[in-house]
Structure 1
Amino acid sequence: MVTIEHDCERTAAPVAAAIFDFDGVIIDSVHPDLLACSALYREYGGGELPVEWWAQEVCGQPDSYERLFSRLLAQASASAGAASQHTRAGLRRRLDELWEVYLTEDHVRLMPAVEEALDTLRAAGLPLAIASASNGRWVARWLRHYGLTQFFTAVVTCDDVPAKKPDPAVYLEALHRLGVPAEACVAFEDSHSGMAAARAAGVTVVAVPTPATRFLDHSHADAVLDDLSVVTPRWLAEVRRTAW
């Protein structure tokens, strides 16, 4: 975790709002997704899914599952010595079935310290938003399930914008709905594409990588946290000050 040092001679820049990615920051859908992808990889002859490759190429990346399918199809074709009988559509159908098994209430949990951080920020009167690459139905489902809907002034998903992360559209829309300037906001992200989107929108970026992605390089973030337990308005002001 990066520690934000207090400088008594400088006034911390005010923060007007905080914006949160959803999958991997609010809820842990990353591990269940890894379980589903790993099951698909085993079923279609790929052996054990290389977790580091998955974290780099699939997790949170645009067209991520197409990369997984391409790898499986290439391996199946090479091992058979001829054209594979597997199809991209078949892989997609099977992954959808595996998601039904793993992306459930038994597996999708809140990330550590989420409720405490949201309580603290809301009590301080700070507007909060979601900026997610997932669809609105998915986000609404888990916000309701965990009783978090009331925390967020704005919820922006891929249904609301023309392009997914790393395009900054979802962050720009969240900023518009919050009615605050980018330079007064702090964003929390777990993926490289999400951090790139927030950065392109002009927002201070805090990386909160999941256990599956902590080995990746997050040095381009303004701060890196193990979880949200240290997040308070004062901490946001400090990270905002050191970022500018």
Structure 2
Amino acid sequence: MTAPVRRPGGARAARRAHEAVVFDLDGTLMDSVQPDFLACTALFAEYGARLPRDVWAREVCGRPEGYPRLFALLRRAGAAASDERLRSRLAELWNVFMTPAHIRLLPGVPEVLERSREAGLRLAVASSSERRWVRRWLRHFALDHHFDAVITGDDVERRKPAPDAYLRAAAALGAAPARCVAVEDSLTGIAAARSAGLTVVAVPTALTRDLDHGAAHLVVRDLRTVDLAALEGRTRTAWT
């Protein structure tokens, strides 16, 4: 008689409601949100305008299509510049702010990844960012070895808030979406994961905490405060 295969986590893993976790990258594993805001703020300052934090959080964070809205706002403030010119200058400012000097690993990330792996959870990244960007920062922070799959914006036809990245990540992990947890910081990402059928843990950034993250099943201050392996079912608990 063949002995049963024992997976990491043992009996606890067999009883657990979830078997995989899919992480967003920007704003969830690393803080590239603050540097992006700083770059956009610098762009507005060059035209003598001020960028309200709440406007940026609502219109741009997690929304690649939000930058044209930002440019339109800047023109209403008096900037005589095309989208092409503004985007080119913003790209130059990204080169200043989107660097290792400004982008930091978020609190609790190495610990939550280690705990999740030790508990037998399979892990993936699902990001709307380009593959080169995602791979660069996973290597920079020495996180790439934790993940069984990495899905980027280059790997899907539709980016978040469409569910494609999460559906593809779940498939790559060999797990039904209902058996996966998504960890997200943005409203766009939460919508994508909910649409895909995952249980969603929201970890708002300092810039986005005033937004309504109520579509998530669980909202936490940071990754140090949650045990992803211990989540049972689809709990609705909010951090305030």
Shorter-chain TM-score above 0.5: yes
1:44 is displaced (CA, Å) by 1.9
1:134 is displaced (CA, Å) by 0.5
Q: Read off the aligned partner of 1:74 and give its amino acid letter.
A: R
Match of 1:69 in 2: 71
Match of 2:42 in 1: 39
Unaligned runs of 5+ in 1: 1-10, 78-83
> 1:18·1:127 contact (CA, 8 Å) conserved in 2?
yes
> 2:20·2:175 contact (CA, 8 Å) conserved in 1?
yes
Identity of matched residues, %: 52
Q: Read off the aligned partner of 2:190 and give its amino acid letter.
A: M
1:13 is displaced (CA, Å) by 4.7
Within-5 A mapping of 1:3-14? 13-14=16-17
Q: Secondary structure of 1:242's match?
A: coil
The structure showing larger relative contact order (alpha-carbon pairs under 8 Å, at least 6 residues apart) is: 1
Deviations 1:132-188 (A, max 9, x none): 010110011111011000000000000000011000011111011111001101101
1:134 to 101, 108, 129: 129
Task: Give the direction of change, closer, same or farther, for the CA distance of 1:89–1:159 in structure 2 (3 Å limit).
Answer: same
Q: Secondary structure of 1:35's match?
A: helix
1:12 is displaced (CA, Å) by 7.0
Root-mean-square deviation (Å):
1.5
Q: Secondary structure of 1:229's match?
A: helix
Say yes or no: does 1:102 pair with 2:105.
no
Deviations 1:23-55 (A, max 9, x none): 000010000000000000111232x21001110
Unaligned runs of 5+ in 2: 1-13
Within-5 A mapping of 1:22-61? 22-46=25-49, 48-61=50-63
Say yes or no: does 1:20 pair with 2:23.
yes
Within-5 A mapping of 1:147-158? 147-158=142-153
> 2:108·2:223 contact (CA, 8 Å) conserved in 1?
yes
Deviations 1:46-79 (A, max 9, x none): 2x210011101111124011111111122216xx
The size of the alignment, in residue pairs, is 223
Q: Read off the aligned partner of 1:53 and give its amino acid letter.
A: V
